[in-house]
Each structure stands twice: as C-alpha cells, then as structure tokens.
Structure 1
C-alpha cells in the first residue's frame, strides 16, 4: 500500500471489462486511479469515487488525448503509470477481411496507444514512471479468423519494444501478452461475426486451447510487474516456448499452432 501512496495511475478504457479490473487492482493497492472513457455516461461524467477518478476523452483524437493529459496533470499534478488498455478484436475469414477493418483495428489497437504514449511520455520522465501496453498472445503469432486483430497487435508489440530501447532511461515500459481473459459475455460476443467460420471462431481466443484468465488475478499481476519494473508479462508463461520455436523454425511453430487449435 505504501508503495502506491500518492502515485497516479491512468487507465484507458477503464470503465468496464478488464480495464475496470485494472482500475480496481490499483485502487486496492492504494494508488490514485484515473479511468479514461469516451462516453461520460460510463462514469457519470468527469467524476470520482474514493480514490478513483474519471475523465472523458476520445483516445482516437489527438486534441482530446492532449486535453485529458492536461486535465489529469492540473488535477493531480503528476502521472506515474499510464496503461493503454483500449482494444478491440474481430472475427473474419482472411480472404473476406476488408481494408476498412484493417484500418479500424489499427486505429483502435495501435494508433490509440501510440497517441497516448507520446502525449504522456514527458510526464512519465518527470516521475520516473511506467508506460504499459496491453497486448495479447496474438501479438507474437498468427491465428485463424482474426487477421486484422493480429496485424494491429503485432504493430503494438513493435512499438512497445521501441519504447523499451528509445524512451528516457528512467521510464519503465511493460508489454503485457495475455491469453483470453474471461468475460461475462464471452459466449455471445463474437457469435454474429463468426457465422460460417465454425464454432471455434466465436469462442474466446478464436479457438485457442487455453483456459480463460481471471481478470482480477491478471490485473494484480500487472501491478506486481510494474513494481518490479519488468519488461514483459506473458501469461501463460509456456507461450514463451512457442514464440521461441516460431523464431527458430516457422514450419514447426505453425504445426504447433494448429495443434493448439480447437
């Protein structure tokens, strides 16, 4: 608790789902948490509850992000951690994916993170803070029926690596690569998009044989990873072996990927 006292943590997309779990984990640790969302209705406007505050902003817009950063600095005087959690997946056959779908996923999963990271980096340098990108196992490998998502998350992985090697030495960069995260709407979320793609496509992870991760547990792991200033968090850890095999032998790696499929 003492470690996070007087620290300010910002989470984009923090009003629901995994973002809310991250907000709650940092609030429980004793940090002042600012949740950013597009709609004021999600938080009842720019309000507060205990040590959790809310700011309305559109992370797809440069001026809106800049205004949100300024508002947070004005209200709380510092930013110690910024977590780019906003993201979106898709279910679509590779040959059916459109350029508009690629553009949409690149904007939501990649450009929002770049925009926010560049806007907040000077403040993190002042606080010797941390910048966190929420990726996915699909940021390191391909997978059927989610090509625009995979492509956008690979871009995010590259950006996170560049932050590690080029951002100020006192700024910590963490890239989180989790498997599917449990959700209340997991059974229906991609049902309409998956029509004609097979039953596996509608499941979390588009059919990957990995148990859904508990969001509260994963959020606590992120808190600990920041405390230890780790560069990456890959869950489950055994996925690291697959990533290594893919680098050494793409043919063998692709075969193993198919074995992981439902």
Structure 2
C-alpha cells in the first residue's frame, strides 16, 4: 500500500540534483525520531519512502510533511512480517529504480524483569527490535550494494549500557549493535557504509513507547514494586529534563549519517548520550556501569 503526499514548495525545489536522485527507505515513521527523520531527509532532497506498520496511523506524518512542504512516499511495512518487508523493498526498487539508503528505526520500548514475564514476552521484544532490523537489512543489502549506499540503524544508549528493567529491550539493542558492528567491515568491502545512531532520552517517548500505564507496571511488579517505582520516577524525570532531546534534534545525527562523506560507525545524538555511553566503552571490568545504574532502583 502506498499513499503519497504531493506538496511541491520551494524547499523541495532547492534540493540538490544529486541528493534528489537518491532514494531512502525509513522504517517506523508514524511518530518520534522516525517521523522527524523522514521529514528531514525529504527536506535534504532525498526521495523519501516513509514506512509505517499501520497506514491508518500516518496522519501525523502526512501533516508534518505538508507543514514542511515536502513530498513523502508513505508505504506499509511491518518489520515482523518477512513478506511485508520483501514486498516493500522490492516495490520501492520497482517504482523508484534504486535504493540508496535505509534507516532501520522501527522498534518498541519494553519495561519488565524476567521473573515477572514470560520468555515469549522477551521473544516478542527481540522480534521487533532485533529480528526486524535483520529482516530489513537482508532485503535491502543487494540494492544498497548496487548503489554503494548507506545502512543506518537507530539503536539506543541502551544498546551500550544495560539498564534496570530493560533486560529484554537492552538485549535486543545489544544484539543490534553486535550485528551491525560485525557487518560494517563486510559491507564496506562491497561499498556500503554502516552506522548506528544512539539516542538518549527523547521528550515524550518513554511513556508512549512503554505502551502501558506506569502505575500498572508498579502494581504488577510484586517484590520488585519499590525498585520499579524508583526506576520509573527517575526515568520520567530524565525524559522531561534538560538532557532530553526533541525528536527533531535526535533526527539530525541520523540525517548526518546519511549525508556525511565519512560517517562514523557509532554516533551518539547528544553530549549526554556520549558521556553516558563512554562509561561502558571504557569500563573494562563492568564496575563503572554497575555503579552508574545501581542507584536507579534504590
């Protein structure tokens, strides 16, 4: 399914000829960083394919595109459905003639601890946040190899630092980082640049990505109620504090990964995210991370 928003304003006309010939596919664009990235990429001159799991939920995306004066090609793509992934990628190449870049952004937050949830709960988190990335990457790689393109994946600081009550989510993001870090030199050998982008807190996204009432999480936590209450209180404060970014701010490093001549492999979206991630990246014995996150649940 494809729904196109045709708005041809001066912003679109000013885009460079080189960039306007490039096609980028972005997953998970109904809100947040994905929506902001789709609009930013279109403003930068990319022919932007913005995908959503449920097209009926694309009103905010269409509105943002109209307000920015850009054109988006909006298509359905569910990263957990292999046939949907294949059909979308093949359709983009058939309609546009090429695929120059992919942004793996689709994902879902999850809060919980293993004693209180099933292994199936964990599998579902991995399916969306890890295997969805794998599915899209596999479908896109032949086309990116043909175009000498870019593969950009929105990870998280939770892909570097394990965090309380984020066991399944951080496991999925760790897996994404390991997958992409291993793929990067292989992809580079055939002309494809790979980057992961690590946002920290993004305003308003914690509760919406959680998908449940935080109070319900506390009430169902049993012996972990006190710890999860402390975690949620601290995290809500962080996501509304000065260190939190807007989706538009977090999208800019994603756009840079698409456009910079020599993009880094690992890109944090803010100074806070850089400092937070550096705790782990220089923490050879793991003690610094434990000292950092332990107080979150006390």
- Structure 1 SS opposite 2:141: helix
Distance, in Å, in 2 between the alignment partners of 1:102 and 1:206 is 26
Matched, 1:39 2:54: yes
The match for 1:200 is 231
- Corresponding pairs, count: 259
Root mean square deviation, CA, Å: 2.7
Distance, in Å, in 2 between the alignment partners of 1:76 and 1:230 is 28
Residue 24 (structure 1) aligned to one of 39, 56, 60: 39
Retained in 2: the 8 A contact 1:201–1:207? no
Task: Give the number of the structure whose alpha-carbon radius of gyration is greater.
Answer: 2
Distance, in Å, in 2 between the alignment partners of 1:199 and 1:253 is 18
| Cα offset, 1:219, TM superposition | 0.8
Say if 1:257 and 1:54 are closer, same or farther in 2 by CA, change over 3 A.
Answer: same
Retained in 2: the 8 A contact 1:131–1:172? yes
The match for 1:177 is 198
Matched, 1:9 2:45: no
Name the TM-score, length of structure 2 as normaliser: 0.78
- Structure 1 SS opposite 2:153: strand
Matched, 1:112 2:143: no
Q: Deviations over 1:25-61 (max 9, x none)?
A: 11111111111112231247xx997421111122211
Q: Deviations over 1:87-142 (max 9, x none)?
A: 11111134223201110000000000000001000100111111111111111121
Distance, in Å, in 1 between the alignment partners of 2:89 and 2:287 is 45
Residue 274 (structure 2) aligned to one of 221, 229, 237: 237
- Structure 2 SS opposite 1:55: strand
Residue 287 (structure 2) aligned to one of 244, 251, 254: 251
Distance, in Å, in 2 between the alignment partners of 1:4 and 1:194 is 48
| Higher helix content, 1 or 2 | 2
- Structure 1 SS opposite 2:75: strand
Structure 2: stretches of 5+ with no match in the other structure: 1-14, 220-224
Matched, 1:222 2:254: yes
The match for 1:133 is 153
Say if 1:54 and 1:9 are closer, same or farther in 2 by CA, change over 3 A.
Answer: same
Distance, in Å, in 2 between the alignment partners of 1:63 and 1:239 is 38
